């Protein structure tokens, strides 16, 4: 009798445990289903729902151009954490290409008179993307603000010219012979884009970024956007581009960029 009673108690306890486990599993299943339905509803209403995103961009600055890769990780419905890397070139407004010739025949590579250095940059940074307005529907436009900053590496590559000095053509940079370098009659043309990479001067700096991004992609898993914004950079020493230009450490510009990528 005692054994029968103990067995009955054990069966009741086991059944209760299984019942509780089943109820817990069913509750979790229902909660997960509700979350998924909520995300689907938010996506249909224009919210961008994803875990991470990766995109490439082509940027046109008021003082040059650049390309970049950006990676984002979803934080909340309105906030995404970003990191990026960008490579580009800054130019001076006084740059003007010339070609040697008499109007009928031209010789030598086109050159920029008075150009001292090519100014390339490599930037990496962290930012946050904040959604201002959702798409409203799948065919709408989502508007986001991007703000952040990071480190910059300025690269000054000497600009070389082919000059005729005493009947002999040779490649020189500004610091080799300033008089001949600035003599229009001695210049044959530029030495080409790859000359001077062995003499690059690296200059560290910092930068800040503020932009608005308009995502017009038809599907939420594809990112297609137009970005407009401003950028500020500061370097630890003057960055001379033109011989006659005013050298400076601080650069401020506006940009427009086309951005393409995917979300997961």
| Look-up of token digits 């970005």 | 227
Report the pLDDT value the prediction gives residue 32, as an integer from 0 to 100.
Answer: 64
The yes/no answer on whether domain 49-263 falls in CATH 2.40.160.20 is yes
pLDDT in tens, 179-201: 999 999 899 999 988 899 999 99
Domain spans, the chain? 1-44, 49-263
Say yes or no to pLDDT of 84 above 80.
yes
End-to-end CA distance of the chain: 63
Give percent of the chain with pLDDT exceeding 70.
79
Say yes or no to pLDDT of 58 above 80.
yes
pLDDT in tens, 7-54: 555 555 555 555 555 567 777 777 666 655 554 555 554 455 668 889
Give the integer Cα–Cα distance in Å for 48 and 10.
52
Report the pLDDT value the prediction gives residue 111, as an integer from 0 to 100.
Answer: 92
Structure tokens at 99: 């070609």
Report the pLDDT value the prediction gives residue 246, as an integer from 0 to 100.
Answer: 77
Q: 246 vs 129, which has greater pLDDT?
A: 129
* R_g (Cα) of the chain, nearest Å: 31
224: left (phi over 0), alpha (psi -120 to 50) or beta: beta
Q: What is the mean pLDDT of residues 98-107?
A: 73
Strand segments, DSSP code E, in 186-249 are: 187-190, 201-215, 222-235
- Residue 202 to residues 121, 166, 191, 195, 245, Cα–Cα distance (Å): 9, 34, 21, 17, 20
| Look-up of token digits 């560290």 | 204
Say yes or no to pLDDT of 140 above 90.
no
Q: Are the C-beta atoms of 30 and 18 separated by less than 8 Å?
A: no
Give the integer Cα–Cα distance in Å for 173 and 155.
16
Report the pLDDT value the prediction gives residue 28, as an integer from 0 to 100.
Answer: 72
Report the pLDDT value the prediction gives residue 245, as an integer from 0 to 100.
Answer: 74
Give the integer Cα–Cα distance in Å for 153 and 202.
7
DSSP state of 191: -
Q: What is the mean pLDDT of residues 215-241?
A: 89
Report the pLDDT value the prediction gives residue 88, as an integer from 0 to 100.
Answer: 97
Say yes or no to pLDDT of 209 above 90.
yes
């Amino acid at each position: 009798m005692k054994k029968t009673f103990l067995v009955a108690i054990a069966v009741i306890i086991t059944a209760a445990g299984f019942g509780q486990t089943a109820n817990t599993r069913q509750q979790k299943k229902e909660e997960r289903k509700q979350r998924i339905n909520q995300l689907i509803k938010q996506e249909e209403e224009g919210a961008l729902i994803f875990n991470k995103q990766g995109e490439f961009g082509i940027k046109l600055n008021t003082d040059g151009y650049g390309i970049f890769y950006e990676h984002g990780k979803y934080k909340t419905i309105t906030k995404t954490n970003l990191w990026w890397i960008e490579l580009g070139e800054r130019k001076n407004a006084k740059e003007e290409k010339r070609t040697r010739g008499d109007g009928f025949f031209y010789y030598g590579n086109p050159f920029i008179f008075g150009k001292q250095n090519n100014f390339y940059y490599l930037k990496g940074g962290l930012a946050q993307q904040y959604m201002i307005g959702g798409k409203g529907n799948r065919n709408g436009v989502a508007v986001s603000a991007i703000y952040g900053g990071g480190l910059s590496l300025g690269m000054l590559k000497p600009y070389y010219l082919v000059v005729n000095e005493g009947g002999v053509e040779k490649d020189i940079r500004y610091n080799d012979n300033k008089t001949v370098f600035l003599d229009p009659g001695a210049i044959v043309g530029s030495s080409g884009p790859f000359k001077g990479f062995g003499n690059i001067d690296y200059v560290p700096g910092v930068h800040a970024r503020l932009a608005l991004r308009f995502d017009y992609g038809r599907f939420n898993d594809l990112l297609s956007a137009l970005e407009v914004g401003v950028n500020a950079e500061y370097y630890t020493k003057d960055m001379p581009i033109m011989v006659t230009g005013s050298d400076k450490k601080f650069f401020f510009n506006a940009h427009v960029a086309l951005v393409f990528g995917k979300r997961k």
